[in-house]
Structure 1
Amino acid sequence: MKRLTLLFIGLFSLPCIAIGTQSDEVAHYAVEHYADEMVASLATLVQFNTVAVDGQTPDSNPEFIGFKRELRSLSDKLGLDYVDHGYVILIGLGQQDDKVGVITHGDVQPANPALWQQSPYQLDMTSQPGKLIGRGTEDDKGPIVTAMYAMKSIKDSQIKLNKRIELMVYMAEESNWEPLKAFLKTYTPANINITIDAEYPVVTAEKGWSKIEFVIPSVDVEAANKGAATLKRFSGGYFGSQVPQQAQAEISFADKGLIQQLKVASKTQSGMTYRFEQNGSTVVIYADGKAAHSSTPEDGVNAVTHLAQLLAIHQWPKNTASLTQQFIHEMIGMGIYAEKFGDIAYKDDFMGPMSLAPTIVKAGKQGTQVMINLRRPIGKTPERLDSQTYEALERWQEKHQVRLAKIETYWGKPMVMQDAPHLNTLLDVYSHFTGVKNPQPVAIGGSTNSKLFPNALSFGPAMPGVEYTGHTENEFITYEQFMLNLKMYSAAFIELAK
């Protein structure tokens, strides 16, 4: 999931209808009876490293097999039906033909254990009291557990529902949507769906996940520059949808004066920490910023762009590493809205500007792979974006007399959900439990499976205006928010299914 809060201003006038007494009673019952069990169940699910592995499926990867085994066990314990379709798990309450769909995912993004106080696959409740820290706590194992205990609480209440509540857990949301698209060809989804993989109050628009990717070819320093201070390596980033927390540069033949200049300049960058390690005439610079979901680059401090800016104080001999540093500095700079990338920048009044973040810079034998993750609103066609992108790349190549290799672009489709019949109900549930008067729909920078379902609106789990921690190296959900979500999901499910 990717998120960027942008409120509708004056576009909607949405009356709220008070939720039923039964919904409120069950919501409070859920927390009173299942708070501890829900935390324990989250701890069980977090322990599985459900990151996609090339060549493996959810039925062959041991981590996914274990994760699904625990989902089945929890479903049995809570009295919910469970069906395993491989990439898709369906967990339900009720046998009615008409149903309410609840869309989640069980896979997660990679985590760098060195950047966590405890293992990312162990629920950490002690390092930062009040927070439940671990990979998947917010995106999206926490919401799965919350939905299941909400369904159990409704089952306990014996409220008569007119619709089945069906929780879908997809196993490749972070990596590959094709198996889900194939599943939907033979599966009839609910006519009313909510995705619990974004934020409150209610998400009605999502930007399109997009990318620009290429390889800066292998270029050796010319003989005339041998022995001069040389940027030998420039790299950073961990995976494609995370603002990089770390980046590294290696400099050979660096004199004391240049090293001192770099050290002084490094102290002027807000939010960055640098470490210089010298071995003879070689210096390695380690840059440490702040990771964030790449749909909200404003929440992070991109170590790649900051390191490129730091190194720009010196003119390095032309080679692969210096070309990479120059591209990042010249074409992206410190901006997050494609301000320097030719003419591709634009914005929509509701969805906001297209965001841009270099997320992977990886040196290899054939050159350096660069991946730039973008989140685009409505307003430009893929064809126009492609044309403007290639024009910008061509100008940069001509300037530096180099040809980029393996250039690839992808422009995901933005989504705007209009006239969803359950919008007012979800807004009312949110208002009832938060005390926020007249809440309005929002747009996010992220991209969820909502795009594939009819009448799909996202409802939590993150609060508006609060930094989203999914995909970061300190992912957490607060205990307070975890319990508030249980109340809101319990009430919302009843209101939608009664």
Structure 2
Amino acid sequence: MPTTNMTKKHSTSFSLSRLSALIPLMLAMPGVAAVPSQDAQKAADYAVAHYQQAQIDTLKTLVGYDTRAREGLTPDTDPVFADFKRALGVKARMLGLDVEDHGYVMLISLSPEGAGANIKKVGVITHGDVQPADPSLWPQSPYELTETADGKLVGRGAEDDKGPIATALYAMKAIKDSGVVLKRRIELLVYMAEESDWDPLKAFLKTYQSADINITLDAEYPVVTGEKGWSQIKLTLPRVMVKVGADTPVLQYFAGGSFASQIPQQARAVIQNPNPELVAALKARAKALPIKTDFVDEPLGLTIHATGKAAHSSTPEDGINAVAYLAALLTPTADGSIPQWPMTTAAVTVDFLNSLVGTGLFGERFGKLGYSDEFMGPMTLAPTLITDAGDGVQVTLNLRRPVGRTPEALDKLAMAAIQGWQETKGTQVTDIETYWGTPMLIEDAPHLDTLLGVYGHYTNTPDPKPIAIGGSTNAKLFPNALSFGPAMPGVEYTGHSEYEFITRDQLKLNLEMYTAALVELAMRE
């Protein structure tokens, strides 16, 4: 996870874990969502008629830059980010928009004629950086936008968040072309480290005058008024050395995951001294699990490769956690066909995962840590990274917490669960770090009804309601910031996955809605 422990976002599958997140936000008491004005509808029609392909071409350019965080570099020093910003700035200027480069932040704006420095603004919040991608798990380079026969535009950042940037550019261009008389400046803010470090944005906001109404294009429709807090438990399980007979099966290695805010697609275990009965029992159990398993005889022993399905860690129900299910595969059986493993470091790791996490999504086994909120839904908990830490194995658990409990209470419950496991197993956990992000709940944003009206009109949805997500987006740092797309409710969000895409149809719909929404908001006094 990023150094500030604050990535994002999205709750996008209609599942049991999200039913409560679709309950109307009773506290907000939204009014009747208004149909967009004729000016807004005309500008939206113009946008899709003239700029649908152009936004795809621009998205292709933006995806071509591998804007992930690199060790020892920042967006100010990384030449890839310099090239990305240059390309983005050139495109924006070609569209007749104003551009300011503030290092970590680019501002791209459309101002009314004769606007002064103190004019009110509509803020549009996005980010230009992306999460890492494993090229071996993609059908082509993650940084080459390709289109499938069914209209999927595949590439890292296509949905999170370069697609929304491209759409916002052409929404602003269409508004400029339309001649609509604006009363506010539209200011697109593109931050370059949303996935890795929020501190530079916080520093920027100390001197930057934020708009009084903002939308973030980094989550889900209809409108997001609640975000869970990005949270983490990280700990080290000690290095353990054991001596066993040459015929005793030993679990010698266990690891998996790519980064902290992704449900891991891959995990691997190595067993020394396997016997035919053990291998047969493991293969039989594997058939009942949702992961793909490959058993490979190698010099170090039997290697088990587990392949699940990557997903954003805020929506663990959208993925298949290879780490959790591989640990479940290795659980000892009552008949001993899968044995009680000698307590190597790998075996201790598997026991920890099976004892305190399992294959559930909501911390059901983690003592009394799990809880739920009526609007935001349940806290989620997922093992996302298991890595060698030199002096042991580092386990990273990613959580998304709703309102309802304090960080102090959560810390106490988490430590009690870990302590209970230690006492039962006689194992000492070290270097325990916890972080409890702050949930966000916006109750009275002045533009909520406008956004709901735009969404309802363009999706033929009667009486749409605000929702909560597993989130943590930059919306938390801005006043009255509501997330508005780019993902549809009930559709799997693919950001952070190893097959990220957005469809042509979704880009078209986003362009309509973003254009209409910005016209409505920028015509306000």
1:146-187 per-position Cα deviation (integer Å, ceiling 9, x unaligned): 001000000001111000000000011111110000001111
- In the alignment, residue 330 of structure 1 is paired with which amino acid? S
1:101-145 per-position Cα deviation (integer Å, ceiling 9, x unaligned): 00000000000000100110000113x531010000000000001
Contact 2:25-2:467 within 8 A present in 1 as well: no
1:3-33 per-position Cα deviation (integer Å, ceiling 9, x unaligned): 2252234724531222111111111111111
Report the Cα offset of residue 446 of structure 1: 1.1
3-state DSSP of counterpart to 2:258:
coil
* In structure 2, C-alpha distance between the alignment counterparts of 1:76 and 1:327, rounded to whole Å: 54
Find the counterpart in structure 1 of residue 280 from structure 2: 260
Q: Which 5+ residue runs of structure 2 have no aligned equivalent? A: 1-7, 12-17, 333-337
Find the counterpart in structure 2 of residue 425 from structure 1: 450
Selected match of 1:237 from 241, 254, 257 = 257
* In structure 2, C-alpha distance between the alignment counterparts of 1:396 and 1:327, rounded to whole Å: 8
* In structure 2, C-alpha distance between the alignment counterparts of 1:226 and 1:82, rounded to whole Å: 68
Report the Cα offset of residue 60 of structure 1: 1.1
Selected match of 2:125 from 90, 96, 103 = 103
Find the counterpart in structure 2 of residue 48 from structure 1: 65
Find the counterpart in structure 2 of residue 34 from structure 1: 51
Q: Which 5+ residue runs of structure 1 have no aligned equivalent? A: none
Contact 1:241-1:294 within 8 A present in 2 as well: yes
Report the Cα offset of residue 92 of structure 1: 0.1
1:446-483 per-position Cα deviation (integer Å, ceiling 9, x unaligned): 10000011111000000011110000000000100001
Contact 1:253-1:281 within 8 A present in 2 as well: no
Q: Does 2:114 correspond to 1:114?
A: no
Selected match of 1:203 from 224, 228, 238 = 224
3-state DSSP of counterpart to 2:326:
helix
Find the counterpart in structure 1 of residue 464 from structure 2: 439
Q: Does 2:91 correspond to 1:74?
A: yes
Equivalences for residues 383-402 of structure 1 within 5 A: 383-402=408-427
Find the counterpart in structure 2 of residue 471 from structure 1: 496
* In structure 2, C-alpha distance between the alignment counterparts of 1:137 and 1:114, rounded to whole Å: 18
Identity %: 55
3-state DSSP of counterpart to 1:18:
coil
3-state DSSP of counterpart to 1:487:
helix
- Which stretches of structure 1, 4 residues or more, deviate above 6 A after TM superposition? none
Find the counterpart in structure 2 of residue 15 from structure 1: 32
Report the Cα offset of residue 309 of structure 1: 0.4
- In the alignment, residue 301 of structure 1 is paired with which amino acid? I
* In structure 1, C-alpha distance between the alignment counterparts of 2:30 and 2:233, rounded to whole Å: 39
1:220-274 per-position Cα deviation (integer Å, ceiling 9, x unaligned): 11x355641000000000000000000000000000110011011100113x110
Report the Cα offset of residue 217 of structure 1: 1.0
- TM-score normalised per structure 2: 0.93
Further displaced range: 295-304 or 358-367: 358-367
Find the counterpart in structure 2 of residue 282 from structure 1: 301
Relative to 1, partners in 2 of residues 1:157 and 1:281: Cα closer, same or farther, differing over 3 Å? closer
Selected match of 1:456 from 458, 474, 481 = 481
* In structure 2, C-alpha distance between the alignment counterparts of 1:415 and 1:10, rounded to whole Å: 13
CA RMSD of aligned residues (A): 1.2
* In structure 1, C-alpha distance between the alignment counterparts of 2:244 and 2:102, rounded to whole Å: 63
Selected match of 1:302 from 318, 321, 327 = 321
3-state DSSP of counterpart to 2:240:
coil
- In the alignment, residue 32 of structure 2 is paired with which amino acid? P
Find the counterpart in structure 1 of residue 14 from structure 2: none
Find the counterpart in structure 2 of residue 356 from structure 1: 381
Contact 2:124-2:189 within 8 A present in 1 as well: yes
* In structure 2, C-alpha distance between the alignment counterparts of 1:427 and 1:179, rounded to whole Å: 32
Contact 1:19-1:428 within 8 A present in 2 as well: yes
Q: Does 2:151 correspond to 1:134?
A: no
- In the alignment, residue 418 of structure 2 is paired with which amino acid? L
Selected match of 1:410 from 423, 435, 458 = 435
- In the alignment, residue 274 of structure 1 is paired with which amino acid? T
